[in-house]
Structure 1
Amino acid sequence: MTGADDARAREPHPRLRLDDSFASPIRFSLMASLTEGIEIDFGTLADIIQAGDSALSKAISHLQAAGYIAARKGYVGSRPRTWVRSTGAGQKAFAAHLEALRAIVETGGQTL
């Protein structure tokens, strides 16, 4: 074994650092849209990520249960509205997920 082979044998593959909460394309897109400090209303978010109301609602519920986003409800005039923002934990988890994806791409380019 070479030194590079030894290092690969000891280091876990970066895919093991992926967060399953972002496995869904809608949840991934939702988190990508909610950059630090941004709060977006449900309708605008649905338009941005081109998702139906039901699918987006399920994604919000999943990420909210994980503690990655926060939702607040209110009214604009007499119409109910929901606004969504990422939490600090969500931002950290999403950044770690993106780093794991980058590491997977880098690992994939290495020769055996």
Structure 2
Amino acid sequence: MRKEIEQLNKVFDSRIRIGIMSALMVNEDINFNDLKALIDATDGNLATHLKTLEEHKYIKVEKGFIGRKTNTLYSVTKAGEKAFRSHLDALEKIIKSVN
């Protein structure tokens, strides 16, 4: 079990980051407001966690406009997908070893 615990990715320790990554794994992309509603986070809290994921190159950010309104879309990168799957695999092994 120690080996599996060492395989956990500290970047995904947060409930909000796990929520972001989970949403992005099943959606091609998602905008800020939809993500905020889905995860039930404040603007500032969500923005902070998104920035951390972007700094680790786990998500991609595309800013654009719908009419005159700004629209920011987020999507998972290949590196993000790989890191998150590895994290989930380690969690699964830990859970199985406890049972």
Q: Which structure shows the bigger proportion of residues in helix conformation? A: 2
Say yes or no: does 1:46 pair with 2:36: yes
So what's the TM-score if we normalise by structure 2? 0.94
3-state SS in 1 of match to 2:25: coil
Alignment equivalent of 2:11, drawn from 17, 21, 35: 21
Where does residue 97 of structure 1 map in the other structure? 87
Identity, in percent, stands at 32
Work out which of the two has the higher radius of gyration on C-alpha atoms and give 1 or 2: 1
Alignment equivalent of 1:71, drawn from 58, 61, 73: 61
Letter in 1 for 2:7: R
CA RMSD of superposed structures (Å): 1.4
**Preserved contact between residue 36 and residue 86 of structure 1 (Cα < 8 Å):** no
How many pairs does the alignment contain? 99
Moved over 4 A (4+): none
Which sections of structure 2, spanning at least 5 residues, go unmatched?
Answer: none
> Which protein has greater RCO, CA pairs closer than 8 Å, 6+ apart?
2
Alignment equivalent of 2:74, drawn from 72, 77, 84: 84
